[in-house]
Structure 1
């Protein structure tokens, strides 16, 4: 073989090896994202392609969800794990503890850069806020769901999942707390809520605003939550096997104490009073709340309105009654914070501090 030919062969071989090495390096640079599936509409199926209500949730497995979005392989090394297969209205405290512990275990691994949790939309905001308070890592955790089942025309699950994986694998999302990704938008777990029964744009943060957008497979953040979360949280579920019973009593005209009395009799450690307006308490209900507090039940005043700060010592003398004000938390999220607070203390002053901290 002539020296010129040998030289050319060596150059060609070197270039080929370099290209292979570069391709391998590109693959190894992809973030490692684990998808934890819990069921919900994103894993649901309908009788026809136009069935967008009355479908069956939680029928499609995690690997099928991942396989339906082959583009995921271009943005992350994705693994799937089926944690539950339920509609999210059936989510329980026990499910939350199991999920939270699994998330913490995975995030402690060096080969996991972020986690995506597929979830039904009905209680997604609650699961997200629970995780926001108990996850012990700055790595991204992103909840994602769909408002249309996987079999529907224009199903929103695939693009939502793609966006969620892109967020979970990004450096931009590190330290932002637990996030929700739907409709090309990024929301904070603490503030987001479901606002519509069926439309794809249901999830919003009405007053405080979304955190950012996803465009072209890349997250863009414009603000961050100022409340403590994840690694700055004082709550730890590592050794918890159950959460204290906390129930919600809903305020309305002509309200009575039947539900309140039943919850207290059933052993409720805490009651969230979802009052009208600024957490107002009906005259016929106030004695029942006072009696419950004297028995040791923690009372948190919240509001059914959905927006605004609930004023401490506003519609009730919280100092005198030894009640707690929920700040801006919705009744369902106030319940989560109170459950976790009760694993630490029964002191209402300390619990009030937690409501102003988280």
Structure 2
């Protein structure tokens, strides 16, 4: 009788809790932290129809309060971790943001992160974080192409949707994402493709990984490459990253630019090559000289789409170079900087660029 009474009393407690939840309409909301870094989404201009504005004029609490119903998605806390236009984004800010994310996501009281960010270098910050964040909880970057004072500013809806993605249990394990213009993109594949239109962020080779429409989240496929909890890269105790420069190839490029980068202290160079990561004969000889001197050189392409072949017109093994695979020059630079935190053979560097 005591055993029956025990189960009956526990069943009654559960039913009362369920009934209470139904009556009050309350469910436990996830806890999301929004880290603000400035950018156009926090920008303001003198005219609602003009193109001139100043980034980072609106602080994060005001941004949150300006979005209707956003607090129905999650319990929100905002932190202003930087306040710059993303053209002024720096390695120091990257390290600060990444360390803050790792600290926050290590807590059982934080379920996800949203980062407001300028669009100019958003893909770079996303990719950097994708390599060094050590959690499978969602990290979502968002921003806007129009400042907060502009006619039809899209920032509030982008922020609403980014919070929805970070708060969704579906988002676990997808690495760092970018949520803009109703689309969800992986940090590895997303590129800024246009100067000012709102549909600027695209993943032209692999497609967006999902969509988010007025807070409704749907995923289509997993992101490409190793990331977050599967990544070998760590910034524990790291205060700076090795210098890596980008050389933009063109007709009749000056080979001495490679020598100048090496002389200036570059530990690595990314060639934004023509076509299949190609460069003229003089630059190629300067590159061969640099790799023999211990400078890591990665061949990417200035062409928007396509992988750089390891054995194409240039055979990397002959020059000591490494193919960027499908990474564009700016993302190749980030991967090379992190890779050079330890000594690596050319073969190991090539493995890294294939896997990430």
TM-score tier (shorter): over 0.9
1:183 aligns with 2:211: no
Deviation, structure 1 residue 25: 7.6
Aligned to 1:170: 168
1:136 aligns with 2:134: yes
**Could you list the runs of 5+ residues in structure 1 that have no partner in the other structure?**
1-15
Aligned to 2:315: 317
Query: d(CA) in 1 for partners of 2:102 and 2:23?
Result: 32
The CA RMSD over aligned residues, in Å, is 1.7
SS in 2 for 1:172: helix
Matches within 5 A, 1:285-296: 285-296=283-294
Write the deviation string for residues 160-197 of structure 1: whole angstroms up to 9, x where unpaired: 00000000011111000100000000000011111111
Indicate how the Cα distance of structure 1 residues 24 and 62 shifts in structure 2: closer, same or farther if over 3 A, else same. Answer: farther
Query: d(CA) in 2 for partners of 1:136 and 1:324?
Result: 27
Query: d(CA) in 2 for partners of 1:105 and 1:24?
Result: 34
Deviation, structure 1 residue 240: 0.4
Query: d(CA) in 1 for partners of 2:85 and 2:131?
Result: 23
Counterpart among 212, 215, 233 of residue 214 in structure 1? 212
Query: d(CA) in 2 for partners of 1:38 and 1:226?
Result: 26
Aligned to 1:327: 325
Indicate how the Cα distance of structure 1 residues 284 and 18 shifts in structure 2: closer, same or farther if over 3 A, else same. Answer: closer
Aligned to 1:254: 252
Deviation, structure 1 residue 290: 1.1
SS in 1 for 2:103: helix
1:49 aligns with 2:48: yes
Query: d(CA) in 2 for partners of 1:182 and 1:72?
Result: 16
Query: d(CA) in 2 for partners of 1:114 and 1:186?
Result: 15
Indicate how the Cα distance of structure 1 residues 287 and 73 shifts in structure 2: closer, same or farther if over 3 A, else same. Answer: same
Query: d(CA) in 2 for partners of 1:337 and 1:36?
Result: 23
Counterpart among 249, 269, 280 of residue 278 in structure 2? 280
Query: d(CA) in 2 for partners of 1:226 and 1:41?
Result: 28
1:341 aligns with 2:343: no
Conservation of the 8 A alpha-carbon contact between 2:178 and 2:187:
yes
Conservation of the 8 A alpha-carbon contact between 1:298 and 1:346:
no
SS in 2 for 1:26: coil
Deviation, structure 1 residue 322: 1.4
Query: d(CA) in 2 for partners of 1:112 and 1:18?
Result: 25
Aligned length: 342
Provide TM-score, normalisation by structure 2. 0.93
Conservation of the 8 A alpha-carbon contact between 2:41 and 2:155:
yes
1:40 aligns with 2:50: no
**Could you list the runs of 5+ residues in structure 2 that have no partner in the other structure?**
1-15
Matches within 5 A, 1:146-157: 146-157=144-155
SS in 2 for 1:210: coil
Aligned to 1:98: 96
Conservation of the 8 A alpha-carbon contact between 1:246 and 1:271:
yes
SS in 2 for 1:37: strand
Provide TM-score, normalisation by structure 1. 0.92
Conservation of the 8 A alpha-carbon contact between 2:300 and 2:332:
yes
Conservation of the 8 A alpha-carbon contact between 1:280 and 1:315:
yes
Deviation, structure 1 residue 26: 2.2
